[in-house]
Amino acid sequence: MRRSIATVCVSGTLDDKLTAAAAAGFDGIELFENDLVVSPWSPAEIRDRCADLGLSIDLYQPFRDFEAVPREALELNLRRAARKFDVMAALGVNTMLVCSSVSPDARDDDALAAEQLALLSAQAAERGIRIAYEALAWGRHVSTWDHAWRIVRAADHPALGLCLDSFHILSREVSPDGIAGITPGKIFFVQLADAPHLRMDVLQWSRHHRLFPGQGAFDLPGLIRTIKASGYDGPLSLEVFNDVFRQSDPARTAVDAMRSLIALEDRAGLRPLPLAPALRGHAFTEFAVDGGTGPQLREALRGLGFAHTGQHRTKPVELWEQSACRVVLNSAVTRPGVAISAIAVSTDDPAAALHRAAALRAPAHVSAHGPREISLASVTAPDGTDVFLTGPAPDWRADFLPTGENAGTGLLDTDHVGLTQPFDHFDEAGLFYHSVLGLDRLATAEFAAPFGLMRSRALVTAGRQVRLALTVALLRRGEWAPGVPEPQHVAFSTSDILAVAARVPRRLAIPDNYYSDLAARFALADEAVEPLRRHGILYDRDAHGGELLHFYTPVHGGRVFFEIVERRGGYDGCGEANAPVRMAAHRHLRLSGR
Amino acid sequence: MRRSIATVCVSGTLDDKLTAAAAAGFDGIELFENDLVVSPWSPAEIRDRCADLGLSIDLYQPFRDFEAVPREALELNLRRAARKFDVMAALGVNTMLVCSSVSPDARDDDALAAEQLALLSAQAAERGIRIAYEALAWGRHVSTWDHAWRIVRAADHPALGLCLDSFHILSREVSPDGIAGITPGKIFFVQLADAPHLRMDVLQWSRHHRLFPGQGAFDLPGLIRTIKASGYDGPLSLEVFNDVFRQSDPARTAVDAMRSLIALEDRAGLRPLPLAPALRGHAFTEFAVDGGTGPQLREALRGLGFAHTGQHRTKPVELWEQSACRVVLNSAVTRPGVAISAIAVSTDDPAAALHRAAALRAPAHVSAHGPREISLASVTAPDGTDVFLTGPAPDWRADFLPTGENAGTGLLDTDHVGLTQPFDHFDEAGLFYHSVLGLDRLATAEFAAPFGLMRSRALVTAGRQVRLALTVALLRRGEWAPGVPEPQHVAFSTSDILAVAARVPRRLAIPDNYYSDLAARFALADEAVEPLRRHGILYDRDAHGGELLHFYTPVHGGRVFFEIVERRGGYDGCGEANAPVRMAAHRHLRLSGR
């Protein structure tokens, strides 16, 4: 099935949009009328440009408020359609989307709607054009796919069929199962959008909050299978109205869109992807450091009991270890400051993982930094972090000559990596880690931080060997609210946080008020709270009695910090409830100049 | 009545919030628990800090999920409350907000709720504390003010009363009229928030979309009068959860908040403000220009038929005129580029207008630029534009020596000034122009521009002598979407746009596609469309048959453009429907380097 994308999905001028769609590998587009109207190119020039880019124009849309109107309005509407047929002829597009009417003039009269749609289709047919009729979820009289189908059946014209839009179908309560029984050939077009479940006006939900498939809560694989069962083999076309995508880089959004469609085809059984190999754990986390931040990171790691255990044979790259916790400090990178430049996860079959990534438009590359005498390939995540996939052999650690230094004890493994995301790419990142690495997504959480709302989402392996915690500001930060770049962090696990905290010299100070509140919230005895307070350890408890104890370091080099976590009784989160305390404490530390 | 503000209304650390509230002139605060929890100050230090700032702490909030629970949960809840009473004692605050329970454990049992609240109140009373019980609009069993009042009456404890929150009241269908009959003294606290009418989950509506009074759609003056009728004379306290305010400069947000409260007190008849004098029209619009942009603006004005009619006696300030259209070019300003630095509106009584502005925390100042040998005072709008108020005499034009140049004809007057707003200050700007200048607000419109959604709102005098069109991006623009700073413009009126267009050499080119669509949309004959197409004139028609014909110039100096409008048949908008075409055309022009 061909892959299409509506021009409304991405930002920019029509030229920006077409270029992005072609570069991302789409076969065709839906031309959203407003993109044509504001373009300086004539329809013929647009047709030629699309042809040059290898894009077909699969749909002209939308044509609104046509059917079930009084006679004099019908005349006007037919004349209006005739003008659009002229444009479509010049564009070389042969299918027009007609949305169910929202006009107060429309009558609740299926027979009239069918009669008028048949008339429109007859006139369209004379021009070689087909009419794809779609039930808007907020249509005045026609708002469900099955109602639209009854009208199309009644109209019984070969140039009239259905346009099915997953949002309009799945946002309503009418089951999509009957779609499989639609007469073969009568589905003319299929538009796909995902969305989160939101309890709000359906039009606002549709216009602002659609997402690409796999980024929301709809069962799109199930819908695709149902549609496929009807015999449909036309384009699968993305039509996503999303406030963020409307203003983000169209080249990137189009790749995100293509990835979503490829992943959907896999889940729907249309085009299987290579399986995502099981991930065994975090192999290492790489920090790019410079002359100023390197010493700060080394001091922080020593404070946590890490040792500089290995030195790269040829590069200014250091391996720091404690038990299975591994950090690489890379001074070969030229960017200033400090940042988490790469994460590495281990898998039994890196080659298969990279094969899948490439199929999902995340091509592997051997980048210009990182420990790589042993060839390690990486893919680049939406936030710019390189993701290395390491295998059982040859071990990348062979690149490092042992220094003989011995690490302390107490920390066991990397628990999670916390990556703050660029505003435009949070949903893209979730889909990337889910589809490329096969991580499961836990529920999205929102919390009020001192400088604005934040959203967070954890991505994990089923056995929790790998955990990533992604966060993003709910609104792009401006002049006042600090935090660009927002800090990143790595959390290490322990089974005895009190002992570790007692040994770590630089812990983030947590306000006494937090502990008073903690005692009240969880009905904790003073004896239970006191050691937490003494060490600056934060606490959370889930609905099943699972507990998290965790503490933080200050922010190092203005950008990164470490966290130590002890999980008890199956606690599965990342302590999001305590994030505002941590953020305020980091802020106070910064203001006090330490 | 005292003026309070909840710390949750503004961004930052507790110190940021308290400083902002005090600077804006508030008498007290509601301390939102999370602001305390994340603060490094002890409760006693917070008490002292508030005292130093002249702020009382009027409410501690929120205490959640207390009432109508099984016995063992009650014990825990009372212990939890006792911990909070300790904190409150140290803070020196004597009223605690208890929200109606949202817990699945809460029972639908008013008698039990009353009994348990009475018990809590008895324990509170021993500590000199009062309990203010509030119905959350999404409370599990108690979600309306009258239900909460029945429970408080049944509990019948002197330390138990109501907290009334305008959002929770006005977002529900229960009439607030009965509030006037509440037993005197039993309303312990009043929280105020406005909101737009939104069809969405009430919790999400409340947590993200509250506004300061006068910025939304609620009848707050009516509610205040009803509450006042009950004998309430405690604080009026703002409690506004708003995604934008949570991350904007707290000092500015607090002033916006105070302005909203002062304006509300006026509308509710509590403390009258000086009347807003009638505005007679736009006196002039001032552009700050530099050596590069000045010549561009002069050429553009000449092209529109303006003449340089006056030269300031002492300053590098030029007056350009045509009929009643007046533009001042000010080269005395040191900022680079070009911007609309001031708008001037005429009124019969500038002194009264300035008096009102000062009362609304917009103090008048004689700024360092502008034509002001004749002393002209201005107030500064939220977007930084100075607003001059000019009177009938002495005429500010006496500062300008006539040059003897004669202007062309065709343009009549300033129709409107279009000011793009900084993202954080759109609602603040609407309230500013409404309350300070007495302008009416027309409905907010949203439109899809090529680089993201935009929101626009017109503010007008009743007779449309003054029109301001404010626009803002729905999401703060990022790396991709261009437009910071967004362009500003001045629109001039004409009664013969075809004649004017024929004379103006540099008009913005509008795509042919626009005219094909126009003909279809409005069923216009080719003869009607052709002259529009020839001159690049845009067209809109309202539901009453009113018509707007308008054209634009290119953007000058990278920032400003002009518009010529002809209104027919009472058209009252600013052609927002055509804004995307204009924005795309400006973008294409920029890309083509002209």
pLDDT digits (tens, 9 = 90+) for A421-433: 999 999 999 999 9
Question: What was the pLDDT predicted at A373?
Answer: 60
Start-to-end Cα distance in chain A: 59
Per residue in A227-237, pLDDT (tens digit) is 999 999 999 99
Tokens encoding A481: 């609210």
The CA distance from A86 to A337, in Å, is 58
- Type and span of the H or E element at A34: helix A33-37
Is A413 within 8 Å of A492 (Cβ atoms)? yes
- Type and span of the H or E element at A52: helix A43-53
Decide if A479 and B249 are in contact by the 8 Å CB cutoff: yes
Residue A181, classed as helix, strand or coil, is: helix
What's the whole-number mean pLDDT along residues B121-142?
A: 98
Per residue in A510-537, pLDDT (tens digit) is 999 999 999 999 999 999 999 999 999 9
Is B254 within 8 Å of B298 (Cβ atoms)? no
Half-sphere exposure of A207 (CA within 13 A, CB side): 12
Name the one residue in this structure whose structure tokens are 């002229």.
A86
What's the whole-number mean pLDDT along residues A374-387?
A: 88
Task: Sort out which chain B residues have CB atoms less than 8 A from A474's CB and list them.
Answer: 243
Closest residue, chain B, to A251 (C-alpha)? B480
Question: What was the pLDDT predicted at A592?
Answer: 82
pLDDT at B372 over 80: no
Q: Which CATH class name applies to A411-591?
A: alpha beta
Tokens encoding B277: 């004098």
Confirm whether residue B239 is marked as ligand binding: yes
pLDDT band per the 50, 70, 90 thresholds, residue B590: confident
Per residue in B73-92, pLDDT (tens digit) is 999 999 999 999 999 999 99
Decide if A247 and B475 are in contact by the 8 Å CB cutoff: yes
What's the length of chain A? 594
Gyration radius of chain B over CA positions: 28
Decide if A199 and B201 are in contact by the 8 Å CB cutoff: yes
Residue A539, classed as helix, strand or coil, is: strand
Number of A to B CB contacts under 8 A, please give it: 197
Per residue in B396-447, pLDDT (tens digit) is 888 899 999 999 999 999 999 999 999 999 999 999 999 999 999 998 999 9
If you average pLDDT over every residue of chain B, what do you get?
A: 95
pLDDT at B9 over 80: yes
The CA distance from B68 to B74, in Å, is 8
Question: What was the pLDDT predicted at B485?
Answer: 67
**Phi and psi angles of residue B230, each rounded to the nearest 5 degrees, phi first:** -75, -10
Of residues A134, A30, A136, A14, the one with CA closest to residue A88: A30
Give the number of other Cβ atoms within 10 Å of residue B388's Cβ: 24
The CA distance from A594 to B376, in Å, is 49
Task: Sort out which chain B residues have CB atoms less than 8 A from A554's CB and list them.
Answer: none
pLDDT band per the 50, 70, 90 thresholds, residue B218: very high
**How far apart, in Å, are the Cα atoms of B252 and each of A137, B209, B210, B259, B456?**
41, 18, 17, 11, 22
Name the one residue in this structure whose structure tokens are 């509710």.
B268
The CA distance from B408 to B485, in Å, is 32
Decide if B40 and A511 are in contact by the 8 Å CB cutoff: yes
Comparing A583-592, B2-11, B25-34, B143-152, the range with the smallest average pLDDT is A583-592
The CA distance from A288 to A340, in Å, is 6
Per residue in A332-349, pLDDT (tens digit) is 877 899 999 999 999 999
Decide if B453 and A243 are in contact by the 8 Å CB cutoff: yes
CATH-assigned architecture of domain A279-402: Roll (3.10)
The CA distance from A109 to A379, in Å, is 56
Confirm whether residue A421 is marked as ligand binding: no
How do strand A325-330 and strand B411-420 relate by DSSP bridges?
Answer: unpaired
The CA distance from B477 to A11, in Å, is 12
Q: What is the DSSP letter of A486?
A: P
Confirm whether residue A530 is marked as ligand binding: no
Closest residue, chain B, to A454 (C-alpha)? B243
Q: Which residues pair with B472 in a beta bridge?
A: B455
pLDDT band per the 50, 70, 90 thresholds, residue A395: confident
**Interface residue B43 vs chain A (CB under 8 A):** yes
Closest residue, chain B, to A80 (C-alpha)? B520
pLDDT at A295 over 90: yes
Task: Sort out which chain A residues have CB atoms less than 8 A from B521's CB and list them.
Answer: 80
Residue among A248, A479, A511 whose CB faces B39 most closely = A511
Tokens encoding B405: 């140049």
DSSP string, A463-484: TSSSEEEEEEESS---SSS--S
Residue A454, classed as helix, strand or coil, is: strand
To the nearest whole angstrom, how far is the Cα of A189 from the nearest Cα of chain B?
24
Give the Cα-Cα-Cα angle A232, A236, A241 (nearest 5 degrees).
Answer: 135
pLDDT at A372 over 60: no
Residue among B13, B453, B519 whose CB faces A83 most closely = B519
How do strand A488-494 and strand A538-541 relate by DSSP bridges?
Answer: unpaired
**Phi and psi angles of residue B470, each rounded to the nearest 5 degrees, phi first:** -100, 135
Residue among B204, B451, B523 whose CB faces A79 most closely = B523
To the nearest whole angstrom, how far is the Cα of A28 from the nearest Cα of chain B?
20
Please determine, looking at this structure, whether the domain spanning B274-594 carries the CATH number 3.10.180.10. yes
**Interface residue B384 vs chain A (CB under 8 A):** no
- Domains A3-267 and A411-591 in one fold: no
Task: Sort out which chain A residues have CB atoms less than 8 A from B8's CB and list them.
Answer: 448
pLDDT at A210 over 60: yes
Share of chain B above pLDDT 90, in %: 91
The CA distance from B198 to B202, in Å, is 9
Best B16, B447, B513 residue to mutate vs chain A (most A CBs within 10 Å)? B513
Strands (E), B292-377: 307-312, 317-322, 325-330, 339-347
Decide if B452 and A247 are in contact by the 8 Å CB cutoff: yes
To the nearest whole angstrom, how far is the Cα of B345 from the nearest Cα of chain A?
30
Task: Sort out which chain B residues have CB atoms less than 8 A from A588's CB and list them.
Answer: 13, 40
Q: Which residues pair with B492 in a beta bridge?
A: B414, B564
Task: Sort out which chain B residues have CB atoms less than 8 A from A453's CB and list them.
Answer: 208, 243, 246-247
Task: Sort out which chain B residues have CB atoms less than 8 A from A19's CB and list them.
Answer: none
Residue among A198, A479, A511 whose CB faces B38 most closely = A511
Is A480 within 8 Å of A489 (Cβ atoms)? no
Question: What was the pLDDT predicted at A268?
Answer: 97
Name the one residue in this structure whose structure tokens are 């005098």.
B461
Question: What was the pLDDT predicted at B481?
Answer: 80
Question: What was the pLDDT predicted at A46?
Answer: 98
To the nearest whole angstrom, how far is the Cα of A513 from the nearest Cα of chain B?
5
Decide if B475 and A244 are in contact by the 8 Å CB cutoff: yes
Q: Which CATH class name applies to B3-267?
A: alpha beta
Confirm whether residue A369 is marked as ligand binding: no
Closest residue, chain A, to B453 (C-alpha)? A243
Decide if B247 and A450 are in contact by the 8 Å CB cutoff: no
Residue A171, classed as helix, strand or coil, is: coil
As a whole number of angstroms, the longest Cα–Cα distance in chain A is 91
pLDDT at B366 over 90: no
Strands (E), B350-451: 378-380, 386-390, 400-402, 411-420, 440-441, 445-449
The CA distance from B254 to B494, in Å, is 42
Task: Sort out which chain A residues have CB atoms less than 8 A from B9's CB and list them.
Answer: none
Q: Look up residue A384 and give its amino acid.
A: G
Question: What was the pLDDT predicted at B81?
Answer: 97
The CA distance from B386 to B80, in Å, is 53
The CA distance from B84 to B444, in Å, is 43
**Interface residue B197 vs chain A (CB under 8 A):** no
Ramachandran quadrant class, B523 (left: phi over 0; alpha: psi -120 to 50; beta: rest): left
Window 543-572 of B: residues touching A by CB (8 A cutoff) are: none
The CA distance from B172 to B114, in Å, is 23
Residue B532, classed as helix, strand or coil, is: helix
Decide if A201 and B201 are in contact by the 8 Å CB cutoff: no
Confirm whether residue A416 is marked as ligand binding: yes
Best A31, A35, A38 residue to mutate vs chain B (most B CBs within 10 Å)? A38
Per residue in B183-206, pLDDT (tens digit) is 999 999 999 999 999 999 999 999
Decide if B199 and A201 are in contact by the 8 Å CB cutoff: yes
Of residues B145, B201, B149, the one with CA closest to residue B168: B145
Count of H helices and E strands in chain B? 17, 25
Tokens encoding A309: 């255990």
Residue among A42, A248, A452 whose CB faces B480 most closely = A248
Confirm whether residue B489 is marked as ligand binding: yes
Of residues A480, A581, A243, the one with CA closest to residue B244: A480
Task: Sort out which chain A residues have CB atoms less than 8 A from B80's CB and list them.
Answer: 520-521, 523
Is B100 within 8 Å of B139 (Cβ atoms)? yes
Per residue in B87-98, pLDDT (tens digit) is 999 999 999 999
Share of chain B above pLDDT 70, in %: 97
pLDDT band per the 50, 70, 90 thresholds, residue B525: very high
pLDDT band per the 50, 70, 90 thresholds, residue B393: low
Domain layout of chain A by residue ranges = 3-267, 279-402, 411-591
Of residues B41, B59, B63, B85, the one with CA closest to residue B4: B59
Edge-to-edge strand list for the sheet holding A307-312: A378-380, A386-390, A339-347, A279-288, A325-330, A317-322, A307-312, A400-402
The CA distance from B442 to B435, in Å, is 14
Cα dihedral B103/B223/B35/B211 (nearest 10): 100
**Interface residue A453 vs chain B (CB under 8 A):** yes
Closest residue, chain B, to A474 (C-alpha)? B243
Question: What was the pLDDT predicted at A37?
Answer: 97
pLDDT at B553 over 60: yes
Name the one residue in this structure whose structure tokens are 């910064």.
A590
To the nearest whole angstrom, how far is the Cα of A9 from the nearest Cα of chain B?
11
Window 502-521 of B: residues touching A by CB (8 A cutoff) are: 509, 511-514, 516-517, 519-521
To the nearest whole angstrom, how far is the Cα of A485 from the nearest Cα of chain B?
14
Residue A337, classed as helix, strand or coil, is: coil
Of residues B257, B192, B216, B191, the one with CA closest to residue B10: B257
**Interface residue B22 vs chain A (CB under 8 A):** no
The CA distance from B356 to B432, in Å, is 12
Question: What was the pLDDT predicted at A246?
Answer: 96
Of residues A276, A340, A279, the one with CA closest to residue A464: A279
Half-sphere exposure of B267 (CA within 13 A, CB side): 19
pLDDT band per the 50, 70, 90 thresholds, residue B491: very high
Question: What was the pLDDT predicted at B231?
Answer: 96
How do strand B386-390 and strand B317-322 relate by DSSP bridges?
Answer: unpaired
Decide if A36 and B513 are in contact by the 8 Å CB cutoff: yes
Q: B364 vs A308, which has greater pLDDT? A: A308
The CA distance from A288 to A260, in Å, is 31
What's the length of chain B? 594
CB contact set of A572 (below 8 Å; sequence gap of 6+): A442, A464, A542, A546
Handedness of CA B498, B499, B500, B501 (dihedral sign): positive
CB contact set of B240 (below 8 Å; sequence gap of 6+): B6, B8, B9, B193, B194, B210, B211, B212, B257
Decide if A246 and B585 are in contact by the 8 Å CB cutoff: no
pLDDT band per the 50, 70, 90 thresholds, residue B594: low
Is A471 within 8 Å of A422 (Cβ atoms)? no
Task: Sort out which chain A residues have CB atoms less than 8 A from B514's CB and list them.
Answer: 37-38
As a whole number of angstroms, the longest Cα–Cα distance in chain B is 91
Decide if A250 and B201 are in contact by the 8 Å CB cutoff: no
If you average pLDDT over every residue of chain A, what do you get?
A: 95
pLDDT band per the 50, 70, 90 thresholds, residue A591: confident
Comparing A285-289, A348-352, A500-504, B215-219, the range with the smallest average pLDDT is A348-352
Closest residue, chain A, to B39 (C-alpha)? A511
Confirm whether residue A33 is marked as ligand binding: no
